[in-house]
Structure 1
Amino acid sequence: MNMATWRLLFSTSPINLLCTRRLATQNPIMSKLKRNIEKDILPPKPKKPLNPFIQYCLSVKNTLQKEYPDCTYVDVVKRASKQWAQVEPKVKESLKKQYMEQQSIYKQKLQDYENSITSDQKLLIKKELIKKEHAWEKSQVKQKLTELGKPKRPLSAFFLFLQNKQSAKDPQVPYKDWTINLSEEWKNMTTEAKEKYVVEATHLYEKYKIELKKWEEDMIQAGHHNLLKSNVKSNVKSKRVTNIHKE
């Protein structure tokens, strides 16, 4: 009994049994993104019929749960599997015949469904998938940079001001309202009052630039050029050209 069957039998929420379309990439995350996009844009697909074994398990599930109330779901499924092995061939053949008939109807419905999808819908799905894919790739790069210890950009003067005020925040005031109020306060502050935050932000940023430069040099040495910004990669390329000429 595989996990998909177990989820189908004992999930409290509907299980999506729709087939994955070839247009989705081999990356399972991209396939999932595409299915979610199609779900938002297109009407529901025809449901794929349940195979004979799953139909049988569903038909005996409640009985087995009542008969063995202390058994786990996995144990109930195992018992159903053992019973299925002993089911008369005629019963299995009947279920198989029903399944084949349902499968034939399903294929026709699926074909009609796919033929009903308009060019505009397909284009919209493609655009949304590209957008989601870019966002996913960006998040993967960000995660990788974090794992490689890339220094974090420090807070600006304004956010240092917010951070300083955080301890005095009234917990009853929504965060959005609190930031709006402090934004107005910041706008009305004198240059002298802002000075300490500006000085601290400048100091932190200068320190950040030094740490970032050192980190980038380490990444170049480690061969992670693809994770650096375009200007850094250009510098790497220039250095390589210079070294080639020197040689």
Structure 2
Amino acid sequence: RGTSSIQRPKRPLTAYFRFVMDNRPAFREKNPEASNTELIKKLAGAWKELPASQKQVYEEARKTDWKRYGEQMAAYKAQLTPAQAAALKEERRKQLAKRRSIRAKRELNLLGKPKRARSGFNIFLSENFQESEGNSPVAKLKKLFDTWQKMSASQKQPYLQLAEDDKIRYENEMKSWEAKMIELGREDLVRSKKQKLKKKPAETVKQTETAKASSGRGKKAKLKKSEE
């Protein structure tokens, strides 16, 4: 990535991916009509049933390559400038953070966490995306966004109402899900009280401010009357 004159070594393949690379052509030949997803499932099943002695062959190859990779990385890092070394460290930090994020999302999906509530625009988008004008997804998205911006309040209202209904659905499902997580001892996945607090609607805020203003005027009037 331009951090040094020496090409950065590539990480070795895992034992499983070595098996996939070795056997994919044969599996494709036997299953010409299978999609890539179906083919990977077949390979994963074959790996699972592979005897430990045969898996060990791939594992030993991985260990050999990993040792070579360590030596190559040491030589690579030795000729980096301080700035290049810092850039490499930051890149590694971002990669690890991304992996943790992916693992966390995968875990939440497995635990059945409810899908977030959709906004009015997202509902409008999903209902009209296929029929929207545009040669690319980005063009369609831009067209629909412009259309949404020009829509009147009455035209947006059905979508906004659906969004409000979806919020209720989400909150109800989250309460049940969080109760289940507490039973499983996963309190770390439960939202904090601060996250659960909702912002007051604009009308409620306005009413509160009006009430405070009226109260203030009333107090001033009483004070003036007592002075008289």
Aligned to 1:116: 79
Contact residue 178 and residue 189 of structure 2 kept, 8 A: no
- Residues in 1 aligned to 2:174 and 2:136: alpha-carbon distance in whole angstroms: 35
Shift of residue 173, structure 1, vs aligned partner: 2.4
Give the residue type in structure 2 aligned to 1:118: T
Contact residue 9 and residue 73 of structure 2 kept, 8 A: yes
Counterpart pick for 2:177 among 215, 218, 224: 215
Give the residue type in structure 2 aligned to 1:223: G
Counterpart pick for 1:196 among 137, 158, 171: 158
Shift of residue 226, structure 1, vs aligned partner: 2.9
CA pair 118-201 structure 1, distance change in 2 beyond 3 A: same
Q: In the TM superposition, what are the counterparts of 1:50-199 in structure 2 within 5 Å?
A: 114-170=77-133, 173-199=135-161
CA pair 45-189 structure 1, distance change in 2 beyond 3 A: closer
CA pair 221-120 structure 1, distance change in 2 beyond 3 A: same
Give the residue type in structure 1 aligned to 2:116: R
Contact residue 132 and residue 144 of structure 2 kept, 8 A: no
Shift of residue 232, structure 1, vs aligned partner: 5.9
Contact residue 123 and residue 163 of structure 2 kept, 8 A: yes
Aligned to 1:227: 189
SS of equivalent residue, structure 1 residue 154: coil
Listed as ranges, the gaps of 5+ residues in structure 2 are: 11-70, 197-228
- Residues in 1 aligned to 2:195 and 2:128: alpha-carbon distance in whole angstroms: 42
Give the residue type in structure 2 aligned to 1:183: F
**What is the CA deviation profile of residues 150-191 of structure 1, one whole-angstrom value per residue up to 9, with x for unaligned ones?**
000132100111122134235x62111111111111001000
- Residues in 1 aligned to 2:146 and 2:190: alpha-carbon distance in whole angstroms: 37
- Residues in 1 aligned to 2:75 and 2:103: alpha-carbon distance in whole angstroms: 38
- Residues in 2 aligned to 1:168 and 1:126: alpha-carbon distance in whole angstroms: 46
SS of equivalent residue, structure 1 residue 193: helix
- Residues in 2 aligned to 1:234 and 1:190: alpha-carbon distance in whole angstroms: 32
Which TM-score applies when normalising by structure 2? Answer: 0.52
Contact residue 162 and residue 182 of structure 1 kept, 8 A: yes
Listed as ranges, the gaps of 5+ residues in structure 1 are: 1-38, 48-106, 236-247
Shift of residue 112, structure 1, vs aligned partner: 6.4
| Fraction of identical pairs, as percent | 27
Q: How many residues align?
A: 135
Give the residue type in structure 2 aligned to 1:44: Q
